[in-house]
Amino acid sequence: MNRKALEAYGISDIDELKGRKCYEVFYGNGFPCAMCSNEELTEGDQAAKLFKMNEE
């Protein structure tokens, strides 16, 4: 996350995010979002498929 995103979510230090899931940080949920495509990601840093929010 960049500085502006941290400010928007009220996060003062990037270390607050370590080990947390995106749905915990952004939505305060204890479970993945319905549109989550994390299972389509591969091990490591390479994405197997990109998720597009407005794809028709």
pLDDT in tens, 1-56: 888 988 988 888 888 888 888 888 888 899 988 888 777 766 666 555 554 554 44
Q: What is the span of the domain harbouring residue 46?
A: 20-56
Distance of CA 54 to the CA centre of its chain: 17
Rounded to 5 degrees, φ, ψ at 25 are -70, -50
| CA atoms 16, 37, 32, 7: torsion sign | positive
Alpha helices in 1-56 (DSSP H): 3-8, 22-27
Sorted by sequence, the CB contacts under 8 Å of residue 25 that are 6+ apart come out as 9, 11, 17
Does the pTM surpass 0.85? The reply is no
* 2 located within any domain: no
Position 42 in a domain: yes
Domains identified in the chain, total number? 1
- What the block records as the tokens of 48 is 């197997």
